[in-house]
Structure 1
Amino acid sequence: MSSILTNDSASIALMTLQGVNSSIADVQKEIATGKRVSGADDNAAVWAIAKTMQADVEGYKKVSDSLALGSATLSVARQGAETITDLLTEMKGKIVSAQGENVDRAKIQTDVDALREQIGAVVDSAQFNGLNLLKNQDSASGSGAVNVLGFLQRDASGVRGVDIAVAKHDLGTAQSTISATGGTYDASAATTTLNATQTGTVSGAGITVSAGMGFNLQIFGTDGDDSSFSQADMRTSALAAQTQAEMASSEISYVARDGDTMNDVMTGLKAAYDRYAADNGIATSTLSMTVSGNNMSIASSVTTGSDTIAVTLASLSSDAGNTIGGGLASLADIDVSTGSGATTALDQIEGLLQTSVNAAASFGSDEKRLDTQTAFNSKLTSAMQSGIGTLVDADMEEASARLQALQVQQQLSIQALSIANSAPQTLLGLFR
């Protein structure tokens, strides 16, 4: 049945044309933007994933800036530590020269003093953007390390930045001090007495170390007739119970830095004792110390049942106002103006050299780690950008082919609509 009120053929042709036009508009949008999904209305799920990944990519650009700053700071610190190692090596050469009998030790000491001053200048200048990794004398918690933003981590709880901790290594020459008053003083935090067994252990287990906390080793020998050792040489305090004032003036002391463990404390005390023993002519057979973990093993081959040596670890809390010293503070003790001083200095310089070498090696390892992380982040960012493109970018070859096909469909739809619209005209012939 034909009707002039309802033209089903025209309606169908019109709907077809509208659909084709809509498809053409979508393809033209893809071609214009280069994206298959350019908004949430195109594909909400894919668009949300892509936007999240794009935000991560932008975040990684800031991470790269952080890593670049951290790497530059480490590079300055490493070069400073390497320079200090070279200066200490030169100083060692001077000290070796002072071992001879017919040398001008006064002039050599002048050279040693100049090198020590130069080391101090290097430490002061080895900073980048105000941060100096060669200084660690702040007692504030966390001041012994610097956090560098290394990467982003996304999990079920969300996204967060993950830091890479870079430890400071103090190579300063400032002296540490222990307060003679105030704080909480423990004269016998750990102790052992060498007798006929000739061995003992000073245990640091259970002692919590905090920055600015002071420690010292008290030595108290008992040999009334000086038959096994000189009693006067083996006493660092007037009485068996050391006072805080005596601790403050002790040569065998150490003030903890932020990040130090009990092993660091024990190692520092052993180094101080080694210097003390060399200065006072105490042979290793009379008293020697070795560190293992949190413990210090004490040994003597001269003690007996009656001739004893007590070694006691004392501690003083950080609130006493102790001053943290530099890692190369014992440079001030190097004195080659005498033969005995030159001999002692040769032992001391080895430990100082190792300190600077360890610092340079640590900075180098950390710098390499940051460089590796930077390279990985770059690859990760490229992979994420490629993934985003796979999700939202338009296939331009496919879009071109689809547009050509749709344009043909559009022309045919227009012709079909024209034919459908002309059908009612044939009804006029029935009324002629």
Structure 2
Amino acid sequence: MSLSINNNASSKVAIETLNAVQTDLSSTQNVVSTGLKVSTAADNAAAFGIAQQMQGNVSGQSAVNDGLSFAAQTVSSTASAANQIISVLQQVQQAVTSLGNSFGVDASESQIGTQINGYLAQIDTIARNATFNGVNLLAPDYNNAAVGTKLGISTSKLSYVAGLQGDVTTVTGFAASSGNGSIGKYLTSSGGSLGASSTSTLTDLLGLSTGGVAGKNPTANVFVTTDGAFGSSYVGSGVASVAKMIKQVQAAIKAMTYVTSDLGSNTNVIKSMSTYGSTISDNLTNGIGALTDADMAAASAKLTSLQTKQQLAIKSLTIANSQSQNILSMFQ
């Protein structure tokens, strides 16, 4: 091999080798710093595209999971309110039953009537305030012009996305006079008398009061008036009136237990979908990792190897560049 000052072939080879090592080293350093073997479409167009679609599904499933959490809290809040209403209804039954012990004593019956009114006020107050982020499943009329307020209630039904493909599930409000899952249907099937077909309060719907106004507590009940007289539906039956009253309250209690059962069923569905949603999120994340995550052990070994090659390439280039200096020594 001849020595030339115009053309240094060894130097060119050393430069090409160094450039190749530098390019590979830069790529490996990017893998080490990001932890990804596919961080852009340039790395692997197919894997990158699939990973981006799966990442979109992860984001979508996250929104689904958030919606399920909200739905679970809404149903839980409603169930707590329904259970509390049942407890108050049991007190109403006790008060109504005691009318049989005070039959014909107007003063005692009047006092019991006042006591019942207090219980009914509790029931309607609980129903109005069983609101979670604007959703209330127990308030019959949430938009009363007379009161001039929605009481913070925006809707009487709960809708949530149950799956990644947009499957929507709706829990219809129970405070209706008819329809599947309505208190009205449960009440009549329990042997009770349905209240007004168009009602503004839960106690009206349960047939325990009349003339209620949304946002206001009832001032009278259907069992006994403020002056101690039995209500119009129970007049003329004597002591048997008390039995009819008890039957109405028992039917109301049974109707509310159906509501709690329905809420329990919805709770189980939401819980099941939440568990499944978490599993889907994990599987999607694992799938993305399989496509894009780097083997850090292999990347570390490759980085060490390339750094060694880089040093050798630089040394080789230094030696190649020194050849022209060796030519100069021949003329000394």
Q: TM-score, normalised by structure 1?
A: 0.57
| Bigger mean CA deviation after superposition, 18-27 or 407-416 | 407-416
Deviation at 1:344, TM superposition (A): 1.0
- Contact kept in structure 2, 1:327 and 1:355, CA below 8 Å: no
Residue identity in the other structure for 1:120? D
Instruction: Name the residue aligned to 2:169.
Output: 164
After superposition, the Cα gap between the structure-2 partners of 1:265 and 1:77, relative to the gap in structure 1 and judged at 3 Å, is closer
CA RMSD of aligned residues (A): 3.7
Residue identity in the other structure for 1:111? Q
- Contact kept in structure 2, 1:81 and 1:360, CA below 8 Å: yes
Identity %: 28
Instruction: Name the residue aligned to 1:362.
Output: 262
Deviation at 1:23, TM superposition (A): 0.9
Residue identity in the other structure for 1:411? Q
What pairs with 1:51-90 in structure 2 (closer than 5 Å)? 51-90=52-91
Structure 1 spans left out of the alignment, 5+ residues = 154-160, 172-254, 277-321
After superposition, the Cα gap between the structure-2 partners of 1:151 and 1:400, relative to the gap in structure 1 and judged at 3 Å, is same
Deviation at 1:32, TM superposition (A): 2.1
- 1:351 and 1:7 map into 2 onto residues whose CA distance is 104
After superposition, the Cα gap between the structure-2 partners of 1:431 and 1:65, relative to the gap in structure 1 and judged at 3 Å, is same
Instruction: Name the residue aligned to 2:147.
Output: none
Higher share in strand? 1
Instruction: Name the residue aligned to 1:22.
Output: 23
Deviation at 1:95, TM superposition (A): 2.7
- Contact kept in structure 1, 2:36 and 2:292, CA below 8 Å: yes
For 2:162, which of 124, 128, 150 is the aligned residue?
A: 150
Higher share in helix? 2
- 2:276 and 2:203 map into 1 onto residues whose CA distance is 37
Deviation at 1:400, TM superposition (A): 1.6
- 2:189 and 2:301 map into 1 onto residues whose CA distance is 80
What pairs with 1:118-197 in structure 2 (closer than 5 Å)? 118-137=122-141, 145-153=157-165, 161-170=166-175
Paired residue secondary structure (1:42): coil
Structure 2 spans left out of the alignment, 5+ residues = 144-154, 210-221, 231-237
- Contact kept in structure 1, 2:14 and 2:320, CA below 8 Å: yes
What pairs with 1:313-352 in structure 2 (closer than 5 Å)? 323-324=198-199, 328-329=203-204, 330-332=207-209, 333-335=222-224, 337=230, 338-352=238-252
Paired residue secondary structure (2:43): coil
After superposition, the Cα gap between the structure-2 partners of 1:86 and 1:95, relative to the gap in structure 1 and judged at 3 Å, is same
For 1:378, which of 273, 278, 282 is the aligned residue?
A: 278
- 1:270 and 1:34 map into 2 onto residues whose CA distance is 64
* Equivalent pairs, count: 290
- 1:268 and 1:57 map into 2 onto residues whose CA distance is 41
What pairs with 1:245-256 in structure 2 (closer than 5 Å)? 256=178
